[in-house]
A and B are shown apart, each in its own frame.
Chain A
Amino acid sequence: MAQFRLQGSKVLAVDLTGDAVKAKNGSMVAYEGDMTFKKMSGGGDGLRGMVTRRLTGEQMEVMEVKGHGTCYFADRATEINLVSLRGETLYVEASNLLAADSSLRTGTTFTGLRGASQGNGLFTTTVEGSGQAAIMSDGTAIVLRVTPSTPLQVDPGAYIAHTGKLKQHFQSGVNFRTFIGEGSGEAFQIRFEGEGLVYVQPSERTTFGGDV
């Protein structure tokens, strides 16, 4: 199995011994040894995945990297976080996924109203199976644990990924102030309930919810 490790906080090094990893197209910065790069059309989920991704706007430009040696990945100097999966499902935006073990299955899932407010569409990418994945964040991400007794509210623009059995719903604090342009800028939040981990970045995407 491919071994993921971080070289600093912005470069991901993957040791390969004849196996393969999926990575964002064009994110290789250097490699030692022999590597081949092959684009996987439609995010590497086959024809059905390709159609789904086209329809849902969760298109991923993914390549398969195969070979012997060490391959280094980085993307626009964003911070990289490693996630180890043991049978769970990771929910992450396609644009925040840097690399994943090729044994992990990727797919798309419907997120409901949350997606629209986050500024990243109604669908999100799922990664499931056993292995490692690398996700990107703007700034060093923090990992927050959610337990049944402590639900968590997150700004939609700062959310990047989550794992575990979590129920999410959208809550709004819109009141008359929002309509007269005196809103606090925190009119919308995603509420996570259940058991799991949420990854939050110290920066906010421009979202519809962030403006009000």
Chain B
Amino acid sequence: MPFRPLNSRMVEATVVPGQRLFSQRGAMLAYKGDVSFTPSITGGQGGVLGMIGRRVANEATPLMTVEGSGTVMFGHGGHHVHVVELAGETLYVEADRLLAFDGSLQQGTMFMGSQGGVMGMVRGQVTGQGLFTTTLKGRGAVAVMAHGGVIELPIRSGRPVHVDPQAYVAHRGDVRSKLSTAIGWREMVGRGSGEAFQLELSGEGTVYVQASEEKL
């Protein structure tokens, strides 16, 4: 378990030789021991092809590799940090919300259209996720940033969870998401309740929701 929360906005990671960490560039606050920070030109894993993939997908955030032995403290922009432990599942998260993650996790990008075709692409646009989102798969921990605290809501089959697209942070597990609309005549005449679009998540897994409708 490499990430340990120090307070709600800072995490501490232990780095041991032979184990890499990736973190958002510039997110290091302090470190102890002998640790080196190398800007990752390719922005993560997968070599040059992976880099091109992320550039095209607009999911390329400047990352750096953290190696050596010691402890490193991470934090960024005063945002709340939430540590997610993965045990073989896949975490779906926007690249700019990633603070740091285990180097052992497999990084990838997912096309929103691959879940629900055109509606998936529309969903990406509405939620501000764009056409692509980042996936992390494997065993390890991820530190995710959110505005305000994060609550975890379990998703069980037959019990879908609806989330405000602006408050959605990330989700994991075998979850299908779908944009549900509740547009009636009230929205048309500008008297909407402000909840016209919702993200419907169904399947088995967990969704992370932030206590705010603000983007990072």
Given contacts A8-B211, A36-B182, contact A77 B164 (CB under 8 A): no
Given contacts A35-B162, A36-B182, A74-B211, contact A7 B195 (CB under 8 A): no
- Find chain B residues with CB under 8 A from A55 CB: none
Cβ contact within 8 Å between A30 and B161: yes
Please, how many angstroms separate the alpha-carbon atoms of A28 and B196 in the complex? Answer: 11
Cβ contact within 8 Å between B209 and A77: no
Cβ contact within 8 Å between B194 and A76: no
- Find chain A residues with CB under 8 A from B161 CB: 30-32
Shortest Cβ distance from B192 into chain A, in angstroms? 6
Cβ contact within 8 Å between A75 and B212: yes
Cβ contact within 8 Å between A41 and B191: yes
Cβ contact within 8 Å between A77 and B194: no
Shortest Cβ distance from A30 into chain B, in angstroms? 4
Cβ contact within 8 Å between B149 and A77: yes
A85 within 8 Å of B (CB atoms): no
Cβ contact within 8 Å between A26 and B194: yes
Q: Which of B175-216 contact A (CB under 8 A)?
A: 182, 186, 191-195, 207, 209-214
A137 within 8 Å of B (CB atoms): no
Chain A count of residues within 8 A CB distance of the other chain = 28
- Find chain B residues with CB under 8 A from A27 CB: 194, 213
Q: Tell which of A8, A36, A75 touches B151, judged by Cβ atoms closer than 8 Å.
A: A8
A174 within 8 Å of B (CB atoms): no
Chain B count of residues within 8 A CB distance of the other chain = 26
Cβ contact within 8 Å between A63 and B212: no
Given contacts A30-B162, A32-B153, A74-B148, contact A39 B211 (CB under 8 A): no
| Cβ contacts B150-168/A at 8 Å (1 or 0 each) | 0101000001111110010
A10 within 8 Å of B (CB atoms): yes
A170 within 8 Å of B (CB atoms): no
Cβ contact within 8 Å between B163 and A30: yes
Cβ contact within 8 Å between B149 and A8: yes
Given contacts A11-B211, A76-B214, contact A63 B163 (CB under 8 A): no
Q: Which of A62-111 contact B (CB under 8 A)?
A: 63-64, 72, 74-77
- Find chain B residues with CB under 8 A from A9 CB: 149
Cβ contact within 8 Å between B148 and A63: no
- Find chain B residues with CB under 8 A from A30 CB: 151, 153, 161-164, 167, 207, 209
Q: Tell which of A25, A35, A77 touches B211, judged by Cβ atoms closer than 8 Å.
A: A77
A61 within 8 Å of B (CB atoms): yes
Shortest Cβ distance from A157 into chain B, in angstroms? 22
Given contacts A8-B149, A8-B211, A77-B148, contact A25 B167 (CB under 8 A): no
If A30-B207, A39-B194 are given as contacts, then 10 extra A-B residue pairs at C-beta distance below 8 Å, sorted by A number, are A8-B151, A10-B148, A25-B194, A30-B163, A30-B167, A33-B159, A37-B193, A63-B193, A74-B167, A75-B213
Question: What are the 7 tightest A-B residue pairs by CB atom distance, in nearest-first order?
Answer: A26-B194, A77-B148, A10-B211, A29-B167, A63-B193, A74-B211, A37-B193
